[in-house]
Chains A and B, each alone.
Chain A
Amino acid sequence: MNALVWILGGLLVILAIAWVFRFAAQKATDNKPYFRDMPLSVAFGYVFAAAALLLSIWYFFQPKAVDGVPSAGVIFFRWAVIGLLGFAAAAWVFRTVFRNVGSENSKKLFRSMPLTAAFGVMIIIIYAIVSIFAGLIAPYGQEEILGAANVVAGGDPAIGGNPEYPLGTDQIGRDILSRLIYGAQNTVGIAFVTTCLAFFLGGTLGFLAAVLGGWLDQLLSRMVDALMAIPSLIFSLLLMTIATAWAGSEAWLVTIYMIFIIAVIDSTRVFRLSRAVGQSIVVMDYIEAAKLRGEGMGYLIFREILPNALAPLLAEFGLRFCFVFLTIASLSFLGVGIQPPKADWGTMVRDLSPFINYASFAPNAAVTPLLAAGAIALLTVAVNFVVDWMLHKSSGLKE
């Protein structure tokens, strides 16, 4: 209750300062239209933002520990701010470099790119490199059980760290950094394969339905309608129950089944889109011409329709990838997805989550579950930024 009073009081003070600020600005600038017409809400926004900025700067420079007890709030806040600024700076450097290096087309692309999209592209490239070369980058194996368990992240021996394991080890002594790197390979790789499969299935059937029409279109569409009426996470959980029963003790089979299950469920969404896009293309004259030339179905779909449907499908691919990736992470988090001992981010979050309760006295120990969850969030955020930019660009929205 006390905190609520403080917050309300603070907001009122900011409102008062905003009024004073607007009044002073009107007097100082001789009633310039910008300040004369400024609503109080806008002035409030400016003062609020300034107050938040000042407060963050003050909080950022608070001591990291008071009387030997770490003030965890300050430490987490510093990490968050440094991470945010670091990523923004890295994205800016990345964009600046590619504005000057590369072919004429890529330079042009990067010149029109907002910082968020540059950040997205950068993260996607980094993830791709890490997941492809995981075996070379990771210091230890993903299933390797090392000497020390529960080593704290940070590599500082004074608080239970070990420089050999920069991000510490988990409850049974596996190196967390290596598992994070291998997790990129497993989680991202599996999500990518699943999305490709979903697009192959949904895209082919969708275009086929669009080209052939008639009873096949009706049959497929009604099937898809029924499948889409079940929420996808619930449906995949139901099917995973059956899949684990089928797989028995073979853990890798569960993963294979999971790929197929999620691909089929997600292909329904792809089917909808590719059918709609395909239908608008099928009525074009050049399709008619190709049909009259006597081209086969394969030629029609892959050489005439697909190139013209590529732009919306590509944006959809990004979004689908995010969905698939999050579904797999959620399934693994719930314990029915990618099976241990394979490193996987969703499973890691679940296994390491008890550490979060140590946050107030050992911030370094609490950060590990967040790292795995953050790794998932970072990639989906990056993909979404890029897709958002692509959609914005292709829709030509200006306002």
Chain B
Amino acid sequence: MAGLLGIILQRLLLGIATLFAVSIIIFVAVNALPGDFAQSILGQGATPEAVEAIRNQLGLNESPPTRYFKWLLGAVQGDLGIPMSQALFQSFTGSSTGGDVVTVFDQIIPRLKNTMFLAGVSAAISVPLAVTLGILTALYRNTAFDKAMNVSTLSAISSPEFFLAYILILFLAVLNPVFPSLSNIFPGMEFSDRLNKTMLPALTLTLAVTAQMMRMTRAAIINLLASPYIEMARLKGLSPMRVIVKHALPNALAPIITVVALNLAYLVTGVVVVEVVFVYPGIGQLFVDSVKIRDIPVVQACCLIFAAVYILLNLTADVLSIISNPRLRHPK
């Protein structure tokens, strides 16, 4: 067991190192912005004093490494700075010490929760669906059912999310008003109402990720069907369903778990387009809006959060596959 813990610890350290590297990349990228940060906030007609004030407020007069470590330390403690829109407001009113400042952290947290809710709902639909369909297609492989599923999943994987989203809007919101096409979620909503409004984006994401997971499940099971112990089970006269569920599935679990975790990572980061289509108030929407108005602190913070979630889920996939497959614990 100590070996297992050691491996997990090692992966965790690797993940932290990666996150550190990612934060450097993000910082360097943002600092490649042309011109003066403060100047671009205030526009061309700014007085030198105002520019200087903003520079001081944002700490732009310090050297890049100092700023980087300040940002990183802040980020670790949950202080991600102040959105530029807020900074602009303060410099005009001159109340930079004023009380009610909405920090980036305050802006992101409720939206991150919304995004997690959306990802959670889609995962709750897509994971059982994908595994069931994967088992069924492996069971009835090379039949008309399998081929039809193959074509439709391949089409679903390769279609852009907004295409799937608009098709769903067309059929489930406009032609048959089952679910609302706008997801105006707000705090304090009832759960059922919230679920109803999250349904269409969740279904879109489900379509996008189910296919991948299903194909992997099918491939993982079929890969095993040639092994001798499956042959043995078949010769014993077990039913095909029993052979697959009892004998093949447990051994196919490692690749399935990996692909599920990877797709969850995709869910959390791939929500951007879907959130924009449905005007869902999640972190993806915030990110795109900030990109458009170049609100750098928010963009930086969103990027860091997305990367952290992505790395964390990849790490989980890694660790889970090691746990579920003892062979990986003792590399030759």
Question: CA separation between A72 and B226, bound complex, in Å?
Answer: 50
Chain B binding surface SS class: helix
Closest to A358 in B: B174
- Which of B145, B174, B273 touches A45 (beta carbons < 8 Å)? B145
Question: CA separation between A329 and B166, bound complex, in Å?
Answer: 15
Of A159-167, A208-216, A286-294, A365-373, the one with at least 4 CB within 8 A of chain B: A365-373
Q: Does A116 contact B (CB under 8 A)?
A: yes
Question: CA separation between A366 and B171, bound complex, in Å?
Answer: 12
Could you tell me the distance in whole angstroms from the C-beta of B228 to the nearest C-beta in chain A? 15
Of A134-142, A190-198, A230-238, the one with at least 4 CB within 8 A of chain B: A230-238
Query: Do the beta carbons of A366 and B170 come within 8 Å of each other?
Result: yes
Query: Do the beta carbons of A226 and B307 come within 8 Å of each other?
Result: no
Closest to B40 in A: A245
Q: Does A9 contact B (CB under 8 A)?
A: no
Query: Do the beta carbons of B158 and A229 come within 8 Å of each other?
Result: no
Query: Do the beta carbons of A377 and B22 come within 8 Å of each other?
Result: no
Proximity bits, A52-80, B CB within 8 Å = 1, else 0:
00000000000000000000110010000
Interface size, B (range): 35 or more
- Chain A residues with CB under 8 Å of B307's CB are 229-231, 234
What's the tally of chain A residues with a CB closer than 8 Å to chain B? 56
Query: Do the beta carbons of B29 and A399 come within 8 Å of each other?
Result: no
- Chain B residues with CB under 8 Å of A231's CB are 265, 269-270, 306-307, 310
Q: Does B34 contact A (CB under 8 A)?
A: yes
Closest to A116 in B: B151
Query: Do the beta carbons of A377 and B175 come within 8 Å of each other?
Result: no
- Chain A residues with CB under 8 Å of B33's CB are 242, 245-246
Query: Do the beta carbons of A349 and B291 come within 8 Å of each other?
Result: no
- Chain B residues with CB under 8 Å of A235's CB are 303
Q: Other CB < 8 Å A-B pairs besides A333-B162, A359-B174, 5 of them?
A: A73-B175, A229-B311, A233-B270, A245-B40, A336-B291
Could you list which residues of chain B lie within 8 angstroms of chain A, going by C-beta atoms?
18-19, 21-22, 25-26, 29-30, 32-35, 40, 140-142, 144-145, 151, 154-155, 157-163, 166-167, 169-171, 174-176, 178, 181, 222, 225-226, 239, 241, 265, 269-270, 272-273, 276-277, 287-288, 291-292, 294, 296, 299, 302-303, 306-307, 310-311, 314
Enumerate the 6 nearest inter-chain pairs by beta-carbon distance, A residue then B residue, closest first. A231-B269, A373-B163, A226-B21, A380-B158, A377-B159, A384-B158
